[in-house]
Amino acid sequence: MVQKENIFPIGIGTWNIDCENIEKEIPSLVYSFSQGQNYLSLYMLYNHGEVVKKVKNFIDEVGRENLFITVNLEPTIVNISDVETQLNEYLQVLDLRYVDSLQLHSPVFSKIPLVEVYLEIQRLVSVGKVKYIGISNVNLEQLTEIHEAVSVDFFEGVYNLECKIYEDIGVLEYCKCHNIQFVCYQPLRRGRTANRYYSLLLELSKKYQKTQNQIILNWIWKEKHLFPLVKSTNIDRISENIHSLNFDMSREDYEKMNQFRSNEFDSVVIDWNGAGGVSIDQLANQFE
């Protein structure tokens, strides 16, 4: 079993894995593991559950005990029994006795109070089906309410050079103060940040002889102390990501990254209540 403190700094994302050609994808996932990556995030939403079914081959190959596996509760939690029912589906499909972390993918997916959902997850921890409690895509008020009811271990949310809302509203600081590990998805905006060729990234890329994506990942891990979650089945790109951890930038340059702002993304108003506006999980997708 992989403990919380032994998770590799860069997690393995599974969004958009090619299920039709999974035999070509598995070797890349195995390569990620061989380089130390041991955090795996799974969603039944991806390709109607086919990704989870196919990734089982990877889990079997490297050994379940060598991975930290996070799974998500997704549409929709109507009754409290739905929490264990959805968890059991993951356990059955993956042939597991437990998952390392269980989280509600989005608060808008629950028709019952969030605290009730998390008290049920805590019960599942007590019976050994779950090891750690995760939470995702909530605001500071929701996080505080839930953490006061149960002990949250992981927070998964959007964070990158352009999208700093979780820093702005105090979630990053709260996680730091309460020993909650923040896992950031879309840290590179699926390559779109680099494609904007910001002068700061170009300057630092040239200075350190690294790619723009390596500069971003290095800053997220070494300066912000967050775990980036990156999906890649390209071995060269995986290697590039891993090597982003192998250098240091100056205090001045890290501070330039800290101070960078995007007016476009800062102007987006987040709909936290599922009223039809821009939800937090879609923030990184608002602009190319």
Q: What is the pLDDT of residues 98-137, one digit of tens each?
A: 999 999 999 999 999 999 999 999 999 999 999 999 999 9
Question: What SS3 state is found at 184?
Answer: strand
Q: Is the pLDDT of residue 16 over 90?
A: no
d(CA 134, CA 104): 8
Q: Is the pLDDT of residue 24 over 90?
A: no
pLDDT band at 161 (very low <50, low <70, confident <90, very high): very high
Q: Is the pLDDT of residue 22 over 90?
A: no
Residue 11: phi, psi to the nearest 5?
A: -90, 160
Q: pTM for this one? A: 0.96
Q: How many CA atoms lie less than 13 Å away from 83 in the CB half-sphere?
A: 24
What was the pLDDT predicted at 17?
87
∠ CA 123-129-132, rounded to 5°: 75
Those residues whose C-beta lies under 8 Å from the C-beta of residue 257, and which sit 6 or more positions away, are 161, 200, 204, 215, 219, 223
Mean local confidence (pLDDT), 72-78: 94
**269: exposed, middle or buried (C-beta count within 10 Å: 0-12, 13-18, 19+)?**
exposed
Distances (CA, A) of 157 to 57, 105, 135, 200: 27, 10, 9, 24
Question: What SS3 state is found at 231?
Answer: coil
Q: Is the pLDDT of residue 45 over 90?
A: no
List the helix and strand counts (H, then E) for the chain. Answer: 12, 8
What was the pLDDT predicted at 20?
85
Residue ranges of domains in the chain, CATH in brackets: 4-283 (3.20.20.100)
What was the pLDDT predicted at 175?
98
Mean local confidence (pLDDT), 62-76: 96
Q: Is the pLDDT of residue 179 over 90?
A: yes
Q: Is the pLDDT of residue 270 over 90?
A: yes
Q: Is the pLDDT of residue 151 over 90?
A: yes
What was the pLDDT predicted at 49?
84
Helical axes 114-126 vs 81-94, angle rounded to 10°: 50
What was the pLDDT predicted at 46?
81
Q: What is the pLDDT of residues 205-220, one digit of tens each?
A: 999 999 999 999 999 9
pLDDT band at 18 (very low <50, low <70, confident <90, very high): confident
d(CA 2, CA 134): 15
Query: Buried (b) or exposed (e) across 216-245, using 16+ Cβ within 10 A?
Result: bbbbbbebbebbbbbbbbeeebbebbbebb
